[in-house]
Amino acid sequence: MNVCAWCKKKIPKNCEVFGLGAKVGKGIDLKGQEGEIISLFLVLADKTVPATVTTFNSEAKKNGYDLMFMTCSQSCAKSLKNNLQKEKDLLLEIIKFDKN
């Protein structure tokens, strides 16, 4: 699946790609999905993005990432990163509101 996680353009073979790693929240267990591609729905962007679940012995996992995203450009990587951060911030606000 050589498709940009953000803009959904097909990425041609032998073309430069850009990777983006992310951690998942505590209590989320992805062990049964290692090496698989999962879909994440970003509520604020109204967009579903594919992510690869890192395997326990991968360099990405050793660097602290649970998920990896592939994009076609630095611009798409930046947009994806910004939107992932917005989703995280939203979840933290919901949790904070729920505790009050």
Sign (positive/negative) of CA torsion 70, 75, 66, 64?
positive
DSSP 19: E
80 in Cβ contact with 25 (< 8 Å): no
Express each pLDDT in 9-35 by its tens digit.
999 999 999 999 999 988 888 989 999
Decide if pLDDT at 97 tops 90: no
Q: pTM value?
A: 0.86
54 in Cβ contact with 60 (< 8 Å): yes
Categorize the per-residue pLDDT at 94 as very low, low, confident or very high, splitting at 50, 70 and 90.
confident
Helix, strand, coil share (%) of the chain residues, nearest 5: 35, 25, 40
Write the DSSP string, 37-54: EEEEEETTTTEEEEEEEP
